[in-house]
Structure 1
Amino acid sequence: MTALLRTEALASAFLKKENNNTKKVIVEKFFEDSFESFEDFVIKDEKIDFYLNGEKLISVMSIKEHQDAHIIGFLLSEAVISSFEDIKSLKISEDGLSVFVKADISNIAYENLFKQKTLTSGCCVGVTGNAEKAFDCSFISTQYSLKSTQILKQMSEFNKSSKLFDDTGCVHKARIVLEDGTYFETEDIGRHNAIDKVIGLVTLSKKDLKKSVLYVTGRLSNEMVVKCVMHKIPIVVSKAAVTFEGIKAASEHGVTLIGFAREHRMNVYTHSGRVLID
């Protein structure tokens, strides 16, 4: 019979810090009539504190990577800032757990962020205060289009496992591919975090998102579509499912919404005119 607290005893004896984003632990895998012990990696999630103009803004559970891009993407997605030029200074603490931003902000958006919060459907629960109001009148009218074969090829390349995913199986990815083929990619424990980070990276590079495609690993719900509308990203693609509210938002605001993009097939739910057949 398995001794009580065996796992805890082994973990305390053998726990090792592997790198900034993972830890190595002892795991016991049980079968019907036996078990085995082995070392495995788990993601190291940490609380990152964001400060805006000298005051605590929000804390997020995230991995300690691309913190500067994360806060910029978040502020842009919530319409607290309108462009990168609104940022006056940005500093990450030495331990990486705090990010300090000074910026010219929209006071209305800032106040609304805390007055009226919507619980999102993210895998790492988050809130949004400006998602629905900020994009009410927005519509993406760009005629930017791609061949279906090109979308599936880019999705296949995006779907290749990363070392962090191979080690932990516990991260979402987001990739933005620009018209010239340049791409930016981020990973995080939360799909919202990953998208905010990759949008922040593109913004830091001062690239235009109006002719781009966003590839993600998670489901495409309403708030994921909102981020695309806010940043004028015309096409969003996932290997996962879409939700009804996600379809409604994409239809109303001009986003080409693609789900279940795998191997040689994909489902196009809205604005299929941007997807061309060879």
Structure 2
Amino acid sequence: MKEFEISPNIEADDLYETVKSVDHEGNENWLSVINEKPLTIYLNKQEIVTLMTIGDYPEYLAVGYLVNQNMLRRTDSVTSIDVDEDLQVVIVRTAEETNYEEKLSRKIRTSGCAQGTVFGDVMEKFDDTSLDVSAKLKTSWIYALSKKINQQPSLYLKVGAIHGCVLCEGDRPLIYMEDVGRHNAIDKIAGYMWLNNVPAMGKLFYTTGRLTSEMVIKTVQMQIPVLISRSGFTAWGVELAKQVGLTLVGRAKGKRFQCVSGVERLVFDADPETVLEENKKHQRKGGQD
């Protein structure tokens, strides 16, 4: 795969709109703001969830969500993915009924706690997951990726209020997705990988957002051993990363970064003093991502 096989389409004007605003000096302006719309995902005949999303790549988002929730497995055969833009629905159909359809249907009928059931199943698989111990993370890759991704045209740089996630290999960014929720962006990548048989071997993950427990869990679900972010950590995210040996790197801006888990994968092959500080024009504020 080449660098930025998929990257944000800043020319897709249906992803954002302009609204009139008044600034701190009382001046009227036209401000670009990101759109968000509901998308309901079905697995065969079972309604699964409604997500708020910017609306691009609905087929990848739907499949990635189902994969990361353990509702689709490698043994399942997807026969069709139907997207109805007017109804804002995606229907993922498989050759045979999955075990989750009956489980969710039964749980919804009895207690309405379907998401609790899903979470329990996800954590059960998480506890049994092992990541590639031979994987390495060169510090030169961190610096190269931060620069390339930070300077790539994106919806964030155009309108803000959005998260970005990038599948990478070495120092090459491959698939760059954005959405109003970082969980949506990572699910789009998971869906792309599942539908295109992209292996997790040799891959690492980069996000502009906070390293929460959810981001750690989804990265581990995808069997990717390295997760890098421009932003900071949550305590549970760090705890879960240590539990499964995920290399977790945060606050990666310019020459600086912090590794709180899986430090044994780090290869210090670059001199931080040779790394230039970020151009303010391209800086992202990690706390807002």
Shorter-chain TM band: 0.7 to 0.9
2:131 and 2:225 in contact (8 A); partners too: yes
Partner AA of 2:259 in structure 1: V
* Aligned residue number for residue 193 of structure 1: 184
Give the Å deviation of 1:210: 2.5
Matched, 1:51 2:5: no
Matched, 1:111 2:103: yes
Secondary structure at 1:246 match in 2: helix
In the alignment, the residues of structure 2 paired with residue 28 and residue 277 of structure 1 have an alpha-carbon distance, to the nearest angstrom, of 49
Matched, 1:151 2:142: yes
In the alignment, the residues of structure 1 paired with residue 176 and residue 33 of structure 2 have an alpha-carbon distance, to the nearest angstrom, of 21
C-alpha distance after superposition, 1:142-180 (max 9, x if no partner): 311131011221122112363422332111000001359
Matched, 1:24 2:18: yes
The structure-2 alpha-carbon separation of the partners of 1:117 and 1:85, relative to structure 1 and needing over 3 Å to count, comes to closer
C-alpha distance after superposition, 1:198-254 (max 9, x if no partner): 121222221101321110011111111111111110000000001111111111112
CA RMSD of aligned residues (A): 2.3
- Of the candidates 31, 37, 59, which is equivalent to residue 40 of structure 1? 31
Normalised by the length of structure 2, the TM-score is 0.79
* Aligned residue number for residue 168 of structure 2: 177
In the alignment, the residues of structure 2 paired with residue 58 and residue 116 of structure 1 have an alpha-carbon distance, to the nearest angstrom, of 10
Give the Å deviation of 1:191: 0.6
Q: Identify which range, 108-117 or 241-250, moves more after superposition.
A: 108-117
The percentage of counterpart residues that share the same residue type is 26
Q: Could you tell me which runs of 5 or more consecutive residues in structure 2 were left unpaired when the two chains were aligned.
A: 1-11, 270-289
* Aligned residue number for residue 217 of structure 1: 208
In the alignment, the residues of structure 1 paired with residue 155 and residue 211 of structure 2 have an alpha-carbon distance, to the nearest angstrom, of 23
Larger Rg: 1
- Of the candidates 86, 89, 93, which is equivalent to residue 80 of structure 2? 89
In the alignment, the residues of structure 2 paired with residue 222 and residue 27 of structure 1 have an alpha-carbon distance, to the nearest angstrom, of 36
In the alignment, the residues of structure 1 paired with residue 169 and residue 76 of structure 2 have an alpha-carbon distance, to the nearest angstrom, of 21
In the alignment, the residues of structure 2 paired with residue 36 and residue 79 of structure 1 have an alpha-carbon distance, to the nearest angstrom, of 51
Give the Å deviation of 1:110: 6.7
2:40 and 2:51 in contact (8 A); partners too: yes
* Aligned residue number for residue 194 of structure 2: 203
- Of the candidates 220, 225, 230, which is equivalent to residue 239 of structure 1? 230
C-alpha distance after superposition, 1:7-35 (max 9, x if no partner): xxxxxxxxxxx82111111111123xxx1
Partner AA of 1:23 in structure 2: E
Q: Identify which range, 158-167 or 190-199, moves more after superposition.
A: 158-167
The structure-2 alpha-carbon separation of the partners of 1:110 and 1:148, relative to structure 1 and needing over 3 Å to count, comes to farther
C-alpha distance after superposition, 1:64-107 (max 9, x if no partner): 10111101111111111112853121111143721111124642
More relative contact order, 1 or 2 (CA 8 Å, 6+ apart): 2
* Aligned residue number for residue 272 of structure 2: none
In the alignment, the residues of structure 1 paired with residue 87 and residue 159 of structure 2 have an alpha-carbon distance, to the nearest angstrom, of 21
Secondary structure at 1:20 match in 2: helix
